[in-house]
Structures are given as C-alpha cells and as structure tokens.
C-alpha cells in the first residue's frame, strides 16, 4: 500500500519520515507496516499500520514528542507480538487496580463525613 496515496485523502495528516531519535525508522524495523504521522487537527503524533483493515490508525502518541516511550507504547499494545489474551489480562488487572483505588477512596470519604458529622448528631440527640 502506498502510504502517501492513502494519506492524500487526509490532508491534515503529515507523514513523519524521521526525527532526532529516528523513531519512525525504528518502528519500521520493529514492524514494516508501521508509520508515523502528525495530525494537524489534534496537534498530536499518531502511529498507523498498513496491516489494519479499513483504517490505518493504531494509536495517538500521548507525548508531545516522539521518543523511546513511543516504541514501548507500540510494543506493549502490539497484538501480533504479545497476543490478545496477554493484552486483555493486562487491561483487566489495570481496571481492577482502579476499582480497588476508587472503593478505598469512597470508603475514606464516608469515614471522613461520618467523623465530621458525628459531633452534630450527638449534640442534636443528647
């Protein structure tokens, strides 16, 4: 697939062929289907893959620059390399941690409210 031809229908996507850390080239070494664009609408870098069916989009880089964190992000989310089960397990573990944190914060909030209102109830009913 000709990347420039595919991007011609999306003029707001600019192909990034290299940068100071050679991230686009290093992504190509990892998997030849990957390429990087800069989205002028969102002002963010995006990683795309020619292996995707329909749309080439894979992910938006959450950092303001392309560096080794981008490579790690792509590798961590690569279904072909890691398998869907491993990624889903990682997502589930992350969601469990968030749920436990939210329950703990709610429990602490309830305790704080009870402590703060205890005196008022005692005063009203004694």
Interval 4-21: pLDDT, tens: 888 888 999 999 999 999
Neighbours of 48 (CB within 10 A): 21
Whole-number Å distance between alpha carbons of 37 and 7: 9
Whole-number Å distance between alpha carbons of 106 and 124: 26
Q: What is the pLDDT of residues 83-114, one digit of tens each?
A: 777 778 878 888 999 999 999 999 999 999 88
Q: Would you state the pLDDT for residue 126?
A: 66
In 3D space, the residue among 89, 86, 59 whose CA is nearest the CA of residue 74 turns out to be 59
In which residue are the tokens 């420039």 written? 4
47 compared with 115, residue with greater pLDDT: 47
Q: What is the pLDDT of residues 18-74, one digit of tens each?
A: 999 999 999 999 999 999 999 999 999 999 999 888 889 999 999 999 999 999 999
The band of 117, judged by pLDDT with boundaries at 50, 70 and 90, is confident
In angstroms, the Cα distances linking 116 to 39, 105, 106, 108 are: 50, 16, 15, 12
In angstroms, the Cα distances linking 90 to 59, 60, 122 are: 17, 19, 48
Q: Would you state the pLDDT for residue 33?
A: 92
- Residue 66 contacts residue 37 (beta carbons within 8 Å): no
Whole-number Å distance between alpha carbons of 61 and 24: 12
Q: Would you state the pLDDT for residue 72?
A: 93
Q: Would you state the pLDDT for residue 82?
A: 62
Q: Would you state the pLDDT for residue 4?
A: 83
Q: Would you state the pLDDT for residue 1?
A: 54
């Amino acid at each position: 697939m000709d990347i420039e031809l595919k991007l011609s229908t999306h003029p707001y996507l600019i192909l990034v062929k290299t940068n100071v850390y050679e991230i686009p080239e290093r992504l190509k070494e990892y998997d030849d289907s990957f390429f990087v664009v800069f989205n002028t609408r969102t002002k963010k870098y995006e990683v795309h893959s020619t292996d995707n069916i329909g749309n080439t989009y894979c992910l938006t880089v959450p950092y303001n620059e392309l560096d080794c964190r981008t490579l790690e992000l792509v590798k961590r989310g690569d279904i072909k390399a890691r398998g869907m089960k491993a990624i889903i397990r990682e997502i589930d573990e992350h969601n469990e941690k968030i749920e436990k944190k939210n329950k703990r914060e709610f429990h602490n909030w309830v305790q704080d409210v009870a402590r703060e209102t205890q005196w008022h109830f005692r005063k009203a009913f004694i």
